[in-house]
Amino acid sequence: MTIGEKITEWYLENGRDLPWRNSQNAYKVWISEVILQQTRIAQGIDYFYRFIERFPDIQSLANAEIDEVLKYWEGLGYYSRARNLYAAAQELMTKYEGKFPTHHSEIIKLKGIGPYTARAIGSFAFGNQTGVIDGNVLRVMSRVLNDFSPIDDAKTRNKFQEIIDVWVEKTDSAPFNHGIMDIGSTICTPTKPACLICPLETDCIGRKEGSMHLLPIKGKKMLRPTRYFHFYFIYNSEKELAILRRPEKGLWGGLYEIPNEEVEMAVWEGKKVGFEGKYLGGFKHVFTHFDMELQFFDLGNEAGKVAENLLINAFFIPVEKIQAYAFSKAVLKIFDKVL
Ligand code: SF4
């Protein structure tokens, strides 16, 4: 039996039953894959159900308002994913009559769809004979092959892609790909690979050589800069809260927030603002490429004393209406602590 056949057979008996796996609907596969980028499965399932209930198909997503789409994404982070979903849904309506193209070379042209998601849609929805490589699969492959090349190197990924495309031959691509992902997340885990119950035990060179605990190898660690921010609760005389909308592009694009500004580390360390204000708390928020240290202050009814640029584009809403707007995870966390 080939490696591909063993993985497929194992999956058909042991695979996890996840809601999007029972469907070959390309739209649902797409939404689930995008939600699961950077999100744990347990958390992603709830979002998937809510999103699909409100936007059951490409057309309903394309016809929605972006604010509502962002609201359904609220708390998931990486909001460019939601904006790209929305843009791609419109592209699918105008260029492809509301249907997904089936070929990899067309799927990958859609906004926000990279090689991983294009292959996942191709395999899970259309049965294209291609391997789908995520972080779990990289770990399994580097151990099975006993390959010490850094997995964050594009050359390694290309090499693994060629190998997995051979593994997937002569078997069903969807159960194969689900299977190797499940082996990675449930058996060949980072610190405790359960080789005795692994269907690849007899093929795995890392297991034979006893080197599986050393793999996979990662290249240079990224330097993570830290940025410092102050967030302000500013009220008007009716005790309404100032909020504003971020620009469409960039961090938290299109989401709402309370007035804030980036500050120097020395200012941040002083836990003070340059005008009357009460320190309410702070925490660190982690992004892929940097850490954000943020502090929040109550400026009360002091809008007039605040540098005017903080309130450009801001407007005031009753505090009980904040649910009607989509905020980033960090701002929601501030609300949780303060309101
Ligand atoms: S035999 Fe062990 S190291 Fe190899 S793939 Fe299976 S769990 Fe991972």
State how many domains the chain has.
2
Nearest to 34, CA basis, from 106, 89, 95, 90: 89
CB atoms within 10 A of CB 101: 19
Q: Are residues 232 and 207 in the same domain?
A: no
Pocket of ligand 1, candidates 14, 139, 140, 148: which has the most ligand atoms within 8 Å of its Cβ, to mutate?
140
Residue 147 lies inside a defined structural domain of this protein: yes
Residue pair 123/177 in contact (Cβ under 8 Å)? The answer is yes
The H helix count followed by the E strand count for the chain is 14, 7
Examine the pLDDT at 224 and tell me if it is beyond 80: no
CATH of the domain at 114: 1.10.340.30
Q: Residue 229 pairs with which residues in a beta bridge?
A: 262, 294
Predicted confidence band of residue 80 (pLDDT cuts 50, 70, 90): confident
User: pLDDT, tens digit, for every residue of 275-301?
Assistant: 667 889 999 998 877 899 999 999 877
Nearest to 89, CA basis, from 116, 63, 119, 121: 63
Residue pair 181/137 in contact (Cβ under 8 Å)? The answer is yes
Q: Are residues 79 and 108 in the same domain?
A: yes
Question: Given the CA of residue 187, which atom of ligand 1 is nearest to it?
Answer: 7
Q: Are residues 136 and 261 in the same domain?
A: no
Average pLDDT over residues 204-210: 93
Q: Residue 316 pairs with which residues in a beta bridge?
A: 242
Q: Are residues 176 and 42 in the same domain?
A: yes
pLDDT in the model for residue 273: 67
Q: Are residues 182 and 232 in the same domain?
A: no
Ligand 1 pocket (Cβ < 6 Å) reads 140, 143-144, 187-188, 193-195, 198, 200-201, 204, 206-207, 212
Q: Are residues 70 and 209 in the same domain?
A: yes
CATH of the domain at 288: 3.90.79.10
User: pLDDT, tens digit, for every residue of 45-79?
Assistant: 999 999 999 999 999 999 999 999 999 999 888 88
How many angstroms does the Cα of residue 198 sit away from the middle of ligand 1?
6
Compute the mean pLDDT over every residue in the chain, rounded to the nearest whole number. Answer: 90
Residue 258 lies inside a defined structural domain of this protein: yes
Average pLDDT over residues 309-327: 91
CA dihedral 103, 32, 257, 335 (to 10 degrees): -170
Q: Are residues 82 and 109 in the same domain?
A: yes
Rounded Cα–Cα distance for residues 27 and 48 (Å): 12
User: Which of the listed residues 191, 214, 237 is the one where a domain comes to its end?
Assistant: 214
Predicted confidence band of residue 305 (pLDDT cuts 50, 70, 90): low
Q: Please report which helix (H) or strand (E) contains residue 267, including its range.
A: helix 265-269
Rounded Cα–Cα distance for residues 300 and 271 (Å): 17
Residue 277 lies inside a defined structural domain of this protein: yes
User: Which of the listed residues 192, 214, 236 is the one where a domain comes to its end?
Assistant: 214
Nearest to 86, CA basis, from 104, 110, 108: 110
How many angstroms does the Cα of residue 218 sit away from the middle of ligand 1?
18
Q: Would the pTM count as exceeding 0.75?
A: no
How many angstroms does the Cα of residue 207 sit away from the middle of ligand 1?
6
Q: What percent of the chain has pLDDT over 90?
A: 69
The two tokens of residue 86 are 């929305």
Residue pair 229/262 in contact (Cβ under 8 Å)? The answer is yes
Contacts 24+ apart (CB under 8 A), 264-267: 264/228, 265/226, 265/228, 267/228, 267/230
pLDDT in the model for residue 167: 97
Q: Please name the residue whose Cα sits nearest to atom 8 of ligand 1.
A: 188
User: Which of the listed residues 169, 186, 214 is the one where a domain comes to its end?
Assistant: 214
The C-alpha angle with vertex 21 and arms to 19 and 26, in degrees rounded to 5, equals: 105
Residue 220 lies inside a defined structural domain of this protein: no
Relative to beta strand 291-300, strand 226-234 is parallel
User: pLDDT, tens digit, for every residue of 170-195?
Assistant: 899 999 999 999 999 999 999 999 99
Which residue is catalytic, options 33, 201, 248, 261? 33
Residue 221 lies inside a defined structural domain of this protein: no
Domain that holds residue 90: 3-214
Give 1's contacts (C-beta < 8 A, 6+ positions apart): 9
The region of weakest confidence among 167-171, 224-228, 241-245, 333-337 is 224-228
What's the chain's Rg over C-alpha atoms? 24
Residue pair 49/35 in contact (Cβ under 8 Å)? The answer is no
DSSP 8-class letter at 214: G
Q: Are residues 194 and 272 in the same domain?
A: no
Question: Given the CA of residue 204, which atom of ligand 1 is nearest to it?
Answer: 4
Residue pair 297/242 in contact (Cβ under 8 Å)? The answer is no
How many angstroms does the Cα of residue 291 sit away from the middle of ligand 1?
34
Q: Are residues 113 and 260 in the same domain?
A: no
Q: Are residues 125 and 190 in the same domain?
A: yes
Pocket of ligand 1, candidates 183, 207, 209: which has the most ligand atoms within 8 Å of its Cβ, to mutate?
207
Examine the pLDDT at 302 and tell me if it is beyond 90: no
Rounded Cα–Cα distance for residues 54 and 152 (Å): 37
